[in-house]
Amino acid sequence: MTITLTDQERQHLIQLANEIRRNAYVPYSNYRVGAALRSISGRIFTGVNVESAAYPTTMCAERTAVFKAVSEGEREFDAIAVVTDNGGSPCGSCRQVLAEFGLDIVVLIADGEGKLHHEMTLSELLPEAFTPRHLPG
């Protein structure tokens, strides 16, 4: 079941994601990403991208937020805000990790000025997602 966010809830998540992205470690790309993930219990977990000289080991902000939440015992989420300078969209890996926890998650994509570029569900962002239902057993 998809939730409907109020304007205040949208702005709060976008603001948190925008603020936290100052902490991003991006010495190679200088592309700061912040994420604010809300669990259905109302807790909000933030994340930033962390780059590495060994590029494949870099971690995105969205997955950082998910992994923080899961490590704190959360498994159900209803919304995530992702903020970049230019309103960039989550990568495929982040989309797949989010899909693990529900295709009804509302995804807000905003820029560094706080302008909302896109609002959609994860199922709209990742159509035909591979999920646990595809696994045998």
Catalytic residues: 62
When computed from its CA atoms, the radius of gyration of the chain, rounded to whole angstroms, is 14
CA 102 to chain centre: 13
The number of CA neighbours under 13 Å toward the Cβ of 56 is 0
* Residue 105 backbone phi and psi in degrees, to 5: -60, 130
